[in-house]
Structure 1
């Protein structure tokens, strides 16, 4: 999905895993799609290239076709080599230079003892993938990321439509191929009404009849008339305008962004119940600094103004007056940015949690009637909100200052026009992606400025992703059937002969082994008191896990019930998205009085990601990520533990990072640690802050404070996974076979497997944005940072003390 919101989401999730904050039906009000708990859509771009087969292939697809041909040749080559291996004699030199000798020598060295050599198709493919990725000219003790990914980076340029490219993106594309094939089957073959709706929605997006192009701006103009008009399009009467009515109409009836965000979610302090949550929001550009640091962002702000002006003109505005109106909107957003709290200052969840009544919220921030606002929303599900209803406010200081700002603007006619223009702009820019090509083209310049790419992927790729955001669990059912019962691409061939339960059984064992390794590591901690240690051990035992997909999606009746109130029509793409917002809002509001279901999912099955939810104390691994190179039942366990095992350890460690540690084993936010232990934890964690602060790209430093939670999880996850693998290998040494053409030990393969899942390339613009916005460190530092802190890595690779990958001073929390 090509919008500011969507591109940020893709950069921060498609190339990394994270802990989740929302369940499958929960999301903030303020976006076009709010279904399934996935960040939603605003502006979209998709283009229609020529019909030539080769031209229709992306660079990745062309590379995959060529790679398959190469792999077939390698299989033939290995067969020939085996046939002549009795004539081969070699000597093995263990020096570093010979370890990285040419490919032919490595093949013969392995063949000398081919009794433990694996030469089936899976092993050949795996070996070829590793060989195509590593750069043996680089000393692994100097830069292990460049060693494991140097060749991959060289041979995997960023596709034209992308701002970044990684193993996550490749798997995501492969999964989308599977879903595409399922969606393009006849609608009569769909197993459920929900799947039929997914097919219909997909077809409305593909727009074979060019209905979208024919309608132009009409759907949006009709919506603007319903919400009271817009000064840009010329149909607006300031004398009858009321702030309260506009906020309620746009932020409730159309679920758009505004001055703040609000949603229904688990109560942090009592995770068995739901509560209304209010938080800061309202900026269009990714970061507050995009507005406040005008010198560094002069070009970006100018491009943003051009984009706004183009959209205004497309809906009938005069260019000169539109630009002037939009300049005032940017000024208002700048003032919002000035009162917006920094992400790194909001990491203490006990500190930002503020429970109050609706009446108290009205006293805190009286720029609107909150009682009226919430009643207007919950009236849709026949639920009354009283002044004594409790809400949780995460940004009380922001709301106080917002009140002063809004009241100042609302005191003059010109100020009211700015407020209306701002609110309506939030709606317009969120919906332009469902309109004709001219609206999508208008975004290209801003996207280029933000991400270094103009976008423009093939229609089917965009539409699969878009359908997943609206009917993701219906797509999930189709995906699961394709993977385990259909022809679902070579990377899933290990699954085709198994049931899903069989395929995921080994993954479940890995989780348990990593949990045990994490608990064992707790015993060596000197900074934790005995009482807190016991509570932490109990929390680790209490972590639940879900793997693959939720069972209900394979029950057509239950799946149909989930989407039964969602109406989808093939030639109504714009209206389908409006109806999707309404459906999701209704589901969300109904939850307020329901008990919390701790088995609901935050990600759809095809998603290449994983997450931890602190209020559920739960780790989840969707089917989409449980494939090579992360995981495969036919893959060497060294690679499974180095790939998926580290992901599992990462998510488990989130339960004990600087935020996760504030939640007890039942998912409730309160202080359950000894005060002295908290102080010592912070001392240990400060080491990570300093370590990652010293990393930089193009002169921009990593923010060690903002990325602290992810860095703790990266380091703890690697340690737990490696120790779990060591324990497994002691008990299963004879089960590990060597890969052809590779002269690495199984322990070394563990680290290679870990490094290679992070191989990626990113544009300079996107890198800058990630450094300024993301809670994760860049991919290369997510590899070298944890490895520098793990003594066992240097032992396995014989890295001298004081070398870059084996510094004297190391950081450790878990």
Structure 2
């Protein structure tokens, strides 16, 4: 309680305060580890954590030391990121919604939000249509799953308040900036952010509250709110461009939309109902069947390796379910779009059909290069599979991919056993 009281100050806590603990076993093991670890090691760890958190805000002596540390941990050589990019990144971290207003005005076309909403609707319909073919799920649970998908709330582009300067000022009214004192500004932002968080205690959840700033190139699904959020930052190339062929857009941002939607039904998201409550809403038979179905993916991804280090298929299960479900829903939505609007013109010189282009659009968003050290760190801590296997693992489970690329039966990209949940 003393720790929580310090974290939530100046909000007053008492011994009757309800605390939700999502991972009691983890916290117990961490507590045991702390109690059994030499206090000097704990002190060093806490000091290092503070130094790492603040080093980028200090002068070159600290940044040079951090560069050496990062080289050992991730194989990253001395950072050559332009200073303007660092400044923009720091501004987004602290004043992201103010920066977001500028970003939206400069990059986000007025009809982009409408187009994204239409795509999400099409993908949601495709996902719900697929539910009727999920043979391992009983009728009652399947009906409840459709209701949950129907109830998912979409937040696209940016929150409305950022385009109103008066409303934006209210958000940062309690944050004071001091000229020429960068480090002090950073520390004051941490305090300001903590006060904002503490002030939300005991208040009803605000469904309109964003956990990502508009320029962020990412998206998320919130199980406790049953909502999906797609900031303006990800509604850009290579995920989406309003003038691109629909095949590329469905293969890019469309799969991301399907991915976030499927998170509502992965190994963790499925435990929350359509209102965001953590409660049992599946029949026991469907729960057991779901677990049985997931064994295929756990085994499949567990057989992949990076630099001779095997992946942990159980650790990445939730994201793998979302990748596979997202690709399937997005492709089905694209097929539906072509039936309604007719086939698009084929891009010249590529020698690819539009169906093949869809899968290329999906694959290219995961093009990346990582050092061996960074790959090792990702294998241990990242719930996502390495980018290579987010592509290979997912498309090798796709009947449509095998069909359109004429992969021989039994080949690595068209195995006899394909893993499928949704």
Q: Indicate whether the TM-score tops 0.5.
A: yes
Separation in structure 2 between the aligned mates of residue 636 and residue 408 of structure 1, nearest angstrom: 59
Look up the match of 1:670.
279
Q: CA deviation at 1:455?
A: 3.5
Counterparts in 2 of 1:521 and 1:581: CA distance versus 1, 3 Å? same
Separation in structure 1 between the aligned mates of residue 36 and residue 384 of structure 2, nearest angstrom: 38
Q: How does 1:17-96 map to 2 (within 5 A)?
A: none
Residue 183 of structure 2, aligned match among 557, 571, 574: 574
Separation in structure 1 between the aligned mates of residue 244 and residue 356 of structure 2, nearest angstrom: 15
Pairing 1:718–2:348 present: no
Indicate conservation of the 8 Å contact 2:68/2:78, yes or no: no
Look up the match of 1:583.
192
Residue 683 of structure 1, aligned match among 292, 298, 306: 292
Residue 54 of structure 2, aligned match among 403, 417, 431: 431
SS at match of 1:762: coil
Q: How does 1:750-769 map to 2 (within 5 A)?
A: 750-769=358-377
Residue 470 of structure 1, aligned match among 89, 94, 110: 94
SS at match of 1:606: coil
Separation in structure 1 between the aligned mates of residue 395 and residue 97 of structure 2, nearest angstrom: 37
Counterparts in 2 of 1:395 and 1:646: CA distance versus 1, 3 Å? closer
Counterparts in 2 of 1:566 and 1:672: CA distance versus 1, 3 Å? same
Count matched residues.
421
Residue 551 of structure 1, aligned match among 150, 160, 165: 160
Pairing 1:660–2:242 present: no
Look up the match of 1:737.
345
Q: CA deviation at 1:401?
A: 5.6
Separation in structure 2 between the aligned mates of residue 585 and residue 794 of structure 1, nearest angstrom: 50
Residue 528 of structure 1, aligned match among 130, 134, 137: 137
Moved over 6 A (4+): none
Look up the match of 1:385.
13
- Aligned alpha-carbon RMSD (Å): 1.8
Which structure has more RCO (C-alpha within 8 Å, separation ≥ 6)?
Answer: 1
Q: How does 1:363-374 map to 2 (within 5 A)?
A: 370=1, 372-374=2-4
Greater alpha carbon shift after TM alignment, 397-406 vs 635-644: 397-406
Separation in structure 2 between the aligned mates of residue 416 and residue 780 of structure 1, nearest angstrom: 41
Q: CA deviation at 1:444?
A: 2.0
Q: How does 1:208-357 map to 2 (within 5 A)?
A: none
Separation in structure 1 between the aligned mates of residue 380 and residue 41 of structure 2, nearest angstrom: 28
Counterparts in 2 of 1:421 and 1:786: CA distance versus 1, 3 Å? closer
Look up the match of 1:442.
65
Q: CA deviation at 1:434?
A: 1.9
Separation in structure 1 between the aligned mates of residue 7 and residue 404 of structure 2, nearest angstrom: 59
Q: CA deviation at 1:445?
A: 2.0
Q: CA deviation at 1:608?
A: 1.1
Counterparts in 2 of 1:812 and 1:416: CA distance versus 1, 3 Å? closer
**5+ residue gaps, structure 1:** 1-369, 410-414, 485-494
Residue 797 of structure 1, aligned match among 395, 405, 408: 405
Look up the match of 2:5.
375
CA distances 1:422-451 after superposition (whole Å, capped 9, x unpaired): 444433332232221011111222211111
Q: How does 1:763-778 map to 2 (within 5 A)?
A: 763-778=371-386
Q: CA deviation at 1:396?
A: 3.7
Q: CA deviation at 1:757?
A: 1.4
CA distances 1:250-278 after superposition (whole Å, capped 9, x unpaired): xxxxxxxxxxxxxxxxxxxxxxxxxxxxx
Separation in structure 2 between the aligned mates of residue 428 and residue 757 of structure 1, nearest angstrom: 34
Counterparts in 2 of 1:523 and 1:442: CA distance versus 1, 3 Å? same
Q: CA deviation at 1:615?
A: 0.7
> Normalized against structure 2, the TM-score is what?
0.95
Look up the match of 2:253.
644
Q: CA deviation at 1:740?
A: 2.0
Greater alpha carbon shift after TM alignment, 611-620 vs 415-424: 415-424
**5+ residue gaps, structure 2:** none
Indicate conservation of the 8 Å contact 2:52/2:66, yes or no: no
